[in-house]
Structure 1
Amino acid sequence: MSIDPSSIPNFGGQPEPEPTGEPAGVVIPDQDLVKQLLEQMELKYVVDDEGDLAAPWEEFRTYFMFRGDEDQQIFAVRTFYDRPYTIDDKPQLHEAIDDWNRRTLWPKVYTHTHDDGSVRLVGEAQMLVGLGVGLEHFVSSTVSWVRASIEFDKWVTETLGLEKEVDANPEDGEDGEE
């Protein structure tokens, strides 16, 4: 899943240079830009009840959100991993995600404990975009964040020895042998 930034059309149909007076190639990203990027990446997405874009996978969903005031606006890519853990699992989870967070730039991962006592993992990367950002930087960062979210899911499954659960499921077409 890769995308050549030069193949992305001129989003918003704005003439060059952009009317905002920003240097060529600088955009103020919005949800339409992200939708077009997701379409270019051939990723399915939905818009949730709060108006955020979400790309669902089998074991997690990734949200693409804009938050904050106009010139201090932040673009966040936040992934909610669906595998539930228990409170007793938290020390092992913290050890694993501390290792991930030390070794990687993104997503930064943390635990979230729900009211029912279940613990889930959340990954997040953010970029300040309110004053504009280079289109190529925005595209390459977003693509990298999505890839890293997928890689984290694979990594945590392997690190915590959860692949046995996945491999043991005959519906997956796997026989569990390595």
Structure 2
Amino acid sequence: MSIDPSSIPNFGQGQGPSDQPPAGPPGGGVIRPDQDLVKQLLDQMELKYVVDDEGDLAAPWEDFRTYFMFRGEGEQEVFAVRTFYDRAYSIEEKNKLLEIADGWNRQTLWPKVYSHTHDDGSVRLIGEAQMLLGLGVGLEHFVSSTVSWVRASIDFDRWVTEQLGLEKDAESDGEDGDENDEG
């Protein structure tokens, strides 16, 4: 099983021939996705990845990590794309985070975002999308869903940064960071 690079959706980025809808696999067959197929897709998307201690694929970004996991067996097998956002928030900020997550969840299909409070009291956000694999899925559906979920995970990171006004803070830290360090 291999992925035709032209079947990776570009979502309107205007790159010539790939603007056409993907043709899909020959015969429109159903496949049983596995980790090797995900690795091939990540390679074609030019995303770096590692395999963690539990055997899951993880694609690291600067402020988050996205995991590609297969869980369950047979008709109950699920493919999940789960993103752990690294920015920690205080417990006092949790209500604001829940408002932001609820807003995102109302406006978008994926990833669904929720909070997790750690034992130390820090709160982090997690995004997740899942696909029931059952008896198999179409290759085109698997590829386009996975690519969409990755892009939406990146979009959420940008969106939450804007919602919390963190972009301006990061820009001002970079501009006058030396002055602030002198105290």
Q: Same fold (TM over 0.5)?
A: yes
SS at match of 1:85: coil
Name 1:160's counterpart in structure 2. Answer: 164
User: Any residues of structure 2 matched to 1:22-171 within 5 Å, and which?
Assistant: 24-170=28-174
Q: Deviations over 1:72-103 (max 9, x none)?
A: 10000000000000110011001111010001
Cα RMSD for the two superposed structures: 1.9
SS at match of 1:169: helix
| TM-score after normalising by structure 2 | 0.81
SS at match of 1:155: helix
| TM-score after normalising by structure 1 | 0.83
Question: 2:8·2:147 contact (CA, 8 Å) conserved in 1?
Answer: no
Question: Aligned pairs, how many?
Answer: 156
**Structure 1 stretches (4+) deviating beyond 3 angstroms?**
none
SS at match of 1:141: helix
In the alignment, structure 1 segments of 5+ residues that lack a partner are: 8-15, 18-22, 172-178
Name 2:18's counterpart in structure 1. Answer: none
Between the aligned partners of 2:91 and 2:6, the Cα distance in structure 1 is 43
Percent of residue pairs bearing the same amino acid type:
74
